Chains A and B, each alone.
Chain A
Amino acid sequence: MIYPLSVDVSAAVATTVHETVTTVLGPVPAHELGVTAVHEALLSVVPGAQFAPDIAIDRAEIFEVLAAKLRDFREHGGRTIVDSTGMFHGRDVNLYEALSRATGVHIIASTGMGPEEMLGGYFLTPQTNPPTPWPAEKFAELFRKEITEGMVVPRVERRGPAGLVTTTADPNGMTPTEESLFRGAARAALDTGVPLSIRYGADALHDLGIVLDEGLPAGRVLVGGLDRADADGAALEVAKRGAFVGLDHVGLNDHPNYINDAQRTSLVMELVNAGHSHRIILSSNAIGVAKGLPEYHLPFSHVLSTFVPFLKQQGLSDEDAHRILVDNTRELLTHS
């Protein structure tokens, strides 16, 4: 059985050496990415919410809302956005292709899953006796195919390849299945050259250590959530190990679990002053359209239009601002 691809995967693979990034419309030269938001959600659907009678999913309406947000992002200078929700949280590749064509914003979609709570029973209690959860290698294979053969439109077809692998651990601590997810995601990233984005559980350095243990170079990893209130110095340590530091809730100022933008500013300056400006990634984890979870209508342009100008007022150089918004994201997203 052959599932036709909308995008020529072989072309993407062949041009990897020429510094490309995989978008939903195909490979794009890395230098074209421009200002990039790496940790965002376009359509975010809690698994199962698509079946709920009280939740309406109107594609035309979703498209209109997302297109307006992407156009706003573009008007503020944004060029590329990464939907980092993975393969099982509302990802809609067909919709993203149409959005990218309509708005001119490059869209990079992701494969991967997590945390364990968000997984389907197929992975947790399979029809085997005993029902042993999936091991790392099976997750690796599932994610790898989304990068080499194309992302799935469930039970219909594969579309273009994923440009990123993402996974997440439980804030109370990584579960054994999440360790399998992290190891599987790391192997998929290592084998295909796409970057890995992790949202850590209880211990950022431990979770980073798991994926590095698979042989993935630290420079291929983005550790998200380092602006959590409990991250406690982890950002500096992650940077020292050579991984990208995700301060990725910019604009979130009134949440007990996260530091606010003033504290984020101090953290950015601390990292810059320690010589880690080339490791910083700023993003906002905004949600374009939310189904089954609270809306979070922060504009995708917030980092660009509000936070970075504020950072500059606090002494961030133009050169470092450009490095953070353009160069770091490009380095992360470019196929290795």
Chain B
Amino acid sequence: MSKVNTVLGTIPAEELGLVAIHEHIGYGMPGSELDTTWWKTPEERYAETVPKLRAFHEYGGGTFVDATGICNGRDVDYYKSLSAKTGVHIVACTGFVGGDTALPHFARASVDYLAKVFIHEISVGIGTTGSRAGVIKVGVSRGGRMTDLDKRIYRAAARAAIQTGAPVLTHLAIDAENAIAIFQEEGLPLDRVLFGHVDDGVNAENTRDTWIAEQGGRVGFDTFGYETELEDPPFWARPRQERLDHFLRFLNAGHLDKALAGADANCSPLGWAGVKGHTVNYIFEDLIPDLRKAGLEEDAIRTIFVDNPATFLTLSA
């Protein structure tokens, strides 16, 4: 039986449909909740979010994977209501975006404790919500090198992945040698790991995407839409054509079976202004048309957005 944990319960992988693999309902750095600059009323949050999810659903989107870590404003009760009312499956994560977004209680914790937290959230539930996490988020702190805390979180994630069968999804794939060493030491098969953000503007040059794929890891081109052509691009933006060419090069090198793609957009950002004009629906409005224009077959598009995510998200234990 193929099972995936969504916020509304377990579903068969066959029901996932087209998957946005690395997205955010709303992201904020820990502590941003103290700064009223970014506050929105619930009315505003729903008003910003529901139309995007409705459009995603109408375009044919099936599943939205929320990669917002434990301390980044993850709000599972809210996701449940969004999912129930829009018909979009939402997969919530356990874990942390990076060591620098883990609050002191977790930053001080041992690998063993962190693994227990992740396992609990995957197999029992997140807080009092009753919802189980479907994926484990880990990541590299700002600075481009894994910190000791990042490494502890990766190691805990590996152990939790082995025990629960949940996949691991990374924020940044820079310093992948260290990450892969940890996964290998713990015995986690690398096809249970999606090395994300290989296409981001700051780190792409130094990210060894094909090497990761050759080791057996899955590779996420999942910051599509953060473009220098935007009205007010963020510092991690990149020229549109350059990112697309990068992705096509990766596919043409024979790594289609390792490729996943997403937009990393916020429906309604929590602790920052967000990026005007960028939504999850970039996948339908820009990315898939661009891929077709570049000559990619429908089968390949299906592999990237449906088949690869289904295999990845299926609990394997």
Contact = CB atoms under 8 A, between A and B. Distances in A.
A155 B31 contact: no
Interface residues of A, number: 34
A120 interface: yes
A47 B235 contact: no
Contacts of B104: 46-48, 117-118
Contacts of B142: 125, 130-131
Contact of A152 (B30, B34, B41, B202): B34
- The prevalent SS among residues of B at the interface is loop
A142 B28 CA distance: 17
Interface stretch (B10-18, B120-128, B157-165, B298-306): B120-128
Interface size bucket, B side? 35 or more
B106 A48 contact: yes
Contact of A87 (B34, B101, B105): B34
B84 interface: no
Contacts of A120: 29-32, 34, 71, 103
A129 B235 contact: yes
A174 to B, nearest CB: 18
A128 interface: yes
B36 A47 contact: no
Interface stretch (A49-57, A182-190, A229-237, A242-250): A49-57
A155 B202 contact: no
A279 to B, nearest CB: 32
Interface in A114-135: 117-131
A121 B100 contact: yes
Contact of B105 (A119, A155, A292): A292
Contacts of B32: 120, 122
B29 A1 contact: no
Q: Which of B33, B36, B121 has the most CB of A within 10 A?
A: B36
Interface string A132-150: 0000000000100100000
A296 interface: no
Nearest to A293: B105
Contact of A126 (B29, B71, B202): B29
Contacts of A118: 104
Interface in A79-136: 87-88, 117-131
Nearest to A128: B235
B31 A52 contact: no
B70 interface: yes
A47 B30 contact: yes
B272 interface: yes
Contacts of A158: 36
Q: Which of B35, B41, B270 has the most CB of A within 10 A?
A: B35
B39 interface: yes
Given A52-B117, A142-B34, A145-B36, A125 B29 contact: yes
Contacts of A124: 100
B228 interface: no
19 contacts: A48-B71, A48-B102, A48-B103, A52-B105, A53-B116, A120-B29, A120-B34, A121-B30, A121-B101, A122-B30, A122-B34, A125-B29, A125-B141, A129-B202, A130-B142, A142-B34, A154-B33, A158-B36, A292-B105
Closest 5 CB pairs of A and B: A120-B31, A48-B103, A48-B105, A122-B31, A120-B30
Interface of B: 28-36, 39, 41, 70-71, 100-107, 116-117, 120-121, 124, 127, 141-142, 202, 234-236, 270-272
Interface of A: 1, 3, 46-49, 51-54, 87-88, 117-131, 142, 145, 152, 154-155, 158, 292
